[in-house]
């Protein structure tokens, strides 16, 4: 993606190309109508995908991103789904177009398939389909629609892995090739996709669903441009970007200038020595600009916890947009104040063929550490630490009665950190904030297991004037022999509290065998789970905020009544609460 070499410093910021200086002449009401029209088009992409996908990881979990980009690879609109994907898609689109030889080789009806991890920022299972969009009788190229979605399997050494040692073990790579050419399916590529998966029926259905989604998006994108006219549409887009930029800059202006540092760690690299991997991030605020510096990170790791540049950029964008975005879906303007500084050959800017399968877990930690850095000077602007993980499990096997291969997977929630004026909750990590975990009714119907328990864990949250979100545990009893890969981070590094708030409970995963023996399995690949055994997934509790001695008596009583805190812990942390 560049000519930089190992050890060089890279500074990335978003592309600014267009009619910025003319946007003041645009009617703001018209620009807002354009913005909502584009968001509606992206929502229709999402709806089409969800209604036609074969795999619960797409139609239930929403493990995908659907977005619209202009011809300069700038984000116009996105559908609420998986934020961590969203900040990577401009890289996906640009590299996909490069892969087929550039814009001159784009034609109406083309669909490009692209999943090279160093361009998508993901593991190969997160595969992007990109469609160019044309208007005015297919003579004017205006941009792209794109969906990146998780395939259940794409021919890696396992459907999901924590122990890969290079990118070639992680799955088949499609480096920007046409799946459709001028509207016609490229049969050879289609057969290649299905030949490199353990579950071809599911993957075939999901590829077709992605194609449907981006075609719907292309149709609606073209309709929006046609409604307003090409020139007015472009000016409205610049107005839209300017408004997004202004919103983020107003937040940054309230932060103290200076270089603010935070540190974190991952439990282990996944291979080799089982020891933590520490790192540091600094956040330099200067007026309404911010530079997020990852150069003080360890060298790229032997295991798959390396985070490619697109995911590093995306985690930075999400961390800030979640705080400064005003609850609106971001566009490219939101990213203009953000610069990301990395060093080539480190964990947050690895070089191929370093393994990257667990790219998302360092990205999640980076977001938490970004907030930790800000909390040093502005604790009222950020939350305490969450469980910092998506506690993911991917299962697979062969059904006893039919011999059919099957696979499924899902993230699970954790407790989130309290903030300066409120308790927190239990939900999926903000990097996946619009996603879900599959309901028990769905997974029990499709897969050979029973969900025996799903409940909050008493005393798991960090206490404080405001408490963190509760930890939560899931018990899965398998009814047939199968395999599972578990990816649970932050088992050694509890969620921290802020301003005197206490730490929450860390995450974990445990297998309980039929004889009652229990083994911790937080980061394990292809674990054999015999019929009758049980996998327990534990999402940790969020950190607390403020001195527990200042907690409101009514809130303490409510937590007691809801049985999320024990009487012993009330006595321990809340002397202001008198027990009769």
The whole-number pLDDT of residue 276 equals 95
- pLDDT, averaged across the chain: 93
pLDDT digits (tens, 9 = 90+) for 173-226: 999 999 999 999 999 999 999 999 999 999 999 999 999 999 999 999 999 999
* Residues 112 and 95 sit within 8 Å (Cβ to Cβ): no
Q: Which residue has the tokens 């946007």?
A: 23
The whole-number pLDDT of residue 168 equals 95
Its pTM stands at 0.92
List the structure tokens of 566: 């024990």
Instruction: Name every residue whose Cβ is closer than 8 Å to that of residue 178 and which is 6 or more positions away in sequence.
Output: 100, 110, 111, 112, 113, 186, 189
In DSSP terms, which residues pair with 181 in a beta bridge? 184
The whole-number pLDDT of residue 82 equals 78
In DSSP terms, which residues pair with 292 in a beta bridge? 283, 340
pLDDT digits (tens, 9 = 90+) for 16-51: 655 555 566 788 899 999 999 999 999 999 999 999
Q: At 434, is the pLDDT very low, low, confident or very high (cuts 50, 70, 90)?
A: confident
The whole-number pLDDT of residue 329 equals 78
pLDDT digits (tens, 9 = 90+) for 399-423: 999 999 999 989 999 999 999 999 9
Burial class (CB within 10 angstroms; exposed 0-12, middle 13-18, buried 19+) of 286: exposed
Q: At 15, is the pLDDT very low, low, confident or very high (cuts 50, 70, 90)?
A: low
Alpha carbons 30 and 228: distance in angstroms, whole number: 9
Q: Is the per-residue pLDDT at 538 higher than 60?
A: yes
pLDDT digits (tens, 9 = 90+) for 124-145: 999 999 999 999 888 999 999 9
Percent of the chain with pLDDT over 70: 97
End-to-end CA distance of the chain: 67
The DSSP bridge pattern shows strands 64-70 and 426-427 to be: unpaired
The whole-number pLDDT of residue 5 equals 84
The whole-number pLDDT of residue 399 equals 94
Q: Is the per-residue pLDDT at 8 higher than 90?
A: no
Q: In 276-374, at which residue ranges do the beta strands (DSSP E only) sit?
A: 277-286, 289-293, 338-343
């Amino acid at each position: 993606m560049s000519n930089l070499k190992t050890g060089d410093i890279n500074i990335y910021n978003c592309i600014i190309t267009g009619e910025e200086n003319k946007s003041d002449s645009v009617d703001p009401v018209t620009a807002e109508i354009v913005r909502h029209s584009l968001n509606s088009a992206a929502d229709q992409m999402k709806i089409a995908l969800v209604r036609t996908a074969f795999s619960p990881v797409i139609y239930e979990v929403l493990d995908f991103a659907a977005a619209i980009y202009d011809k300069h690879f700038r984000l116009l609109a996105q559908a609420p789904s998986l934020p961590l994907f969203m900040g990577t898609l401009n890289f996906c689109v640009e590299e996909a177009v490069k892969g087929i030889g550039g814009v001159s080789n784009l034609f109406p009806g083309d669909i490009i398939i692209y999943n090279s991890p160093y361009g998508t920022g993901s593991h190969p299972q997160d595969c992007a389909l990109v469609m160019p969009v044309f208007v005015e009788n297919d003579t004017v190229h205006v941009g792209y629609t794109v969906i990146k979605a998780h395939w259940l399997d794409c021919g890696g050494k396992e459907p999901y892995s924590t122990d890969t040692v290079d990118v070639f073990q992680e799955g088949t790579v499609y480096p920007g090739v046409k799946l459709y050419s001028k509207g016609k399916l490229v049969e050879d590529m289609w057969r290649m996709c299905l030949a490199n998966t353990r579950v071809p029926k599911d993957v075939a259905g999901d590829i077709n669903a992605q194609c449907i989604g981006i075609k719907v998006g292309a149709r609606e994108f073209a309709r929006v441009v046609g409604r307003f006219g090409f020139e007015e549409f472009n000016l409205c887009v610049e107005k839209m970007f300017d408004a997004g930029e202004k919103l983020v800059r107003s937040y940054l202006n309230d932060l103290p200038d200076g270089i603010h540092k935070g540190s974190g760690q991952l439990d282990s690299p996944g291979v080799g020595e089982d020891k933590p991997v520490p790192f540091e991030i600094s956040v330099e605020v200067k007026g309404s600009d911010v530079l997020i510096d990852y150069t003080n990170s360890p060298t790229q790791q032997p295991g798959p916890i390396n985070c490619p540049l697109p995911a590093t950029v995306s985690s930075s964008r999400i961390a800030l947009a979640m705080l400064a975005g005003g609850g609106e879906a971001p566009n490219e303007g939101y990213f203009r104040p953000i610069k990301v500084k990395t060093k080539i050959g480190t964990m947050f800017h690895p070089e191929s063929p370093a393994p990257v399968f667990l790219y998302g877990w360092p990205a999640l930690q980076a977001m938490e550490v970004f907030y930790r850095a800000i909390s040093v000077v502005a604790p009222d602007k950020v939350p305490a630490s969450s469980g910092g993980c998506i506690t993911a499990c991917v299962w697979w096997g062969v059904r006893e009665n039919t011999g059919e291969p099957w696979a499924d997977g899902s993230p699970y929630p954790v407790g989130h950190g309290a903030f300066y004026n409120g308790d927190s909750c239990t939900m999926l990590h903000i990097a996946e904030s619009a996603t879900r975990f599959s309901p028990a009714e769905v997974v029990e119907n499709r897969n050979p297991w029973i969900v025996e328990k799903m409940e909050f864990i008493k005393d798991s949250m960090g206490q404080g004037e405001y408490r963190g979100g509760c930890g939560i545990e899931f018990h899965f009893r398998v009814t047939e022999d199968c395999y599972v890969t578990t990816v649970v981070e932050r088992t050694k590094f509890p969620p921290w509290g802020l301003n005197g708030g206490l730490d929450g409970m860390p995450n974990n995963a445990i297998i309980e065998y039929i004889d009652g023996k229990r083994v911790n399995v937080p980061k394990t690949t292809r674990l054999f789970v015999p019929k009758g055994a049980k996998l327990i997934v534990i999402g940790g509790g969020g950190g607390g905020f403020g001195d527990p001695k200042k907690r409101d008596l009514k809130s303490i009583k409510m937590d007691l009544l809801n049985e999320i805190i024990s009487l012993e812990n009330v006595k321990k942390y809340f002397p202001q609460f008198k027990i009769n």
